[in-house]
Amino acid sequence: MDKKNLQVNEGIKINGKILQYGVLSDEEGLSYQVYLYPSMTVNEIAFNMAVTMKLLLKDGHIKSKKKFVRLIDNYFTDPQYAELEQKEQTDEAN
């Protein structure tokens, strides 16, 4: 993700709660942008991701942290899930 996607955002509240971070995509799901609460640090982002995993476990969406981390690694390294711009660069190189 490049620096243009890490711009300062406005604070957003949903149902009286502060949105800390999120992932935005275009309608086709080909381009992504991260939403971060203003002045959020990398440590705070990591904390929020840990909270996300704990909530997914608590709510029964996932059965273990280990399997979820493995799934994230699969999506992170699989070229099939690269953003459109990265896919185009790969295609041009071949």
Give exposure, 35-70, as e/b (b: 16+ Cβ within 10 Å): bbbeebeeeeeeeeeeeebeeeeeeeebeeeeebee
Decide if 18 is inside a domain: yes
Asked, for residue 78, whether it belongs to a domain, the answer is yes
Residue 92 lies in a domain: no
Q: How many domains, the chain?
A: 1
Q: Quick check: is 91 in a domain?
A: no
7 found inside a domain: yes
**pLDDT computed for residue 36 by the predictor:** 87
Examine residue 94 and state whether it is found in any structural domain, yes or no. Answer: no
Question: Which pLDDT tens digit goes with each residue over 12-50?
Answer: 888 888 888 888 888 887 788 888 888 889 999 999 999
- pLDDT, position 84: 53
* Cα separation, 19 vs 9, whole angstroms: 11
Query: Is residue 79 included in any domain, yes or no?
Result: yes
pLDDT of residue 80: 83
Number of C-alpha atoms within 13 angstroms, CB side, residue 22?
Answer: 11
Confidence at residue 58, expressed as pLDDT on a 0 to 100 scale: 96
Please indicate, yes or no, if residue 21 is contained in any of the structural domains.
Answer: yes
Read off the pTM: 0.65
pLDDT of residue 5: 47
Domain of residue 21: give its range: 3-85
